Copies of this chain bind each other. A is one copy, B any other.
Amino acid sequence: MAVQLDEIDVRLLRELEADADRPNVELARIVGLSPAATLNRVRRLKESGVIRKIAARLDSAAAGFTLQVYVMVTLARHDEAAENRFNREVAAIDNIIAADGVAGETDALLMIAARDVAELQVVLSRLSTRAGAQRLITLLRLGEIKPSSPLPLRATSVQSRRAS
């Protein structure tokens, strides 16, 4: 399941997680390979699915979203129909910028961005009514303690590889 990575792959991934806005030749210099070899490795990492995508990370506040909140959701019911309904509502609400199903204190954790309290209020009430949330716990994001950081990757220890 997990993709095999050697030391160079790990270095490439770390660099790309930190900053993917650089020419391939610079990456090549960093990892000590030729541009062609570097390009091949990056392509393989994309195809293997380890790299999901290359994307811009925006500053929500600078873009006008002064309110960022995490909302923990407990569903009223847990049958498949209720979950599908919830998932559809979550997908349809633009201010929910990401959502994960979780196990523990609650059933789901949502990330929400809003321009003002009124906008947030609309989202929360829609979750309570149409989405079937029984209980909402809201955490107002005050600021960043640790910025989004690279995964602590390690090279896969050397071992013979069976044919796939």
Residue ranges of A at the interface with B (Cβ–Cβ < 8 Å): 1-3, 5, 13, 16-21, 48-66, 70, 72, 86-87, 90-91, 94-106, 108-110, 113, 137-154, 156
Contact call B50/A59, Cβ cutoff below 8 A = yes
Residues of B contacting A101 in the complex (Cβ-Cβ under 8 angstroms): 141-145
Across the interface, which residues of B come within 8 angstroms of A152, CB to CB? 94-95, 113
How far apart are A83's CB and chain B's nearest CB, in angstroms?
9
Known: A20-B20, A139-B105. A145 touches B90 (CB 8 A): yes
User: Whole-angstrom distance between the alpha carbons of A145 and B148 in the complex?
Assistant: 20
* Residue from the list B90, B96, B106, B146 in contact with A98, Cβ < 8 A: B146
Indicate whether A55 sits within 8 Å of B58 (C-beta atoms), given known contacts A63-B3, A140-B102: no
Within the complex, which residue of B16, B60, B103 is in contact with A139, where a contact is CB–CB below 8 Å? B103
Contact of A56 among B16, B106, B108 (CB under 8 A): B16
Q: Which residues of B sit under 8 angstroms from A55, Cβ to Cβ?
A: 16-20, 54-55, 57, 148
A93 nearest CB across to chain B (Å): 9
Q: Which residue of B lies closest to A65 (CB)?
A: B151
Ordered nearest first, which 10 A-B pairs have the shortest CB separation? A94-B152, A16-B56, A21-B54, A99-B146, A99-B145, A102-B139, A2-B64, A104-B139, A101-B142, A103-B140
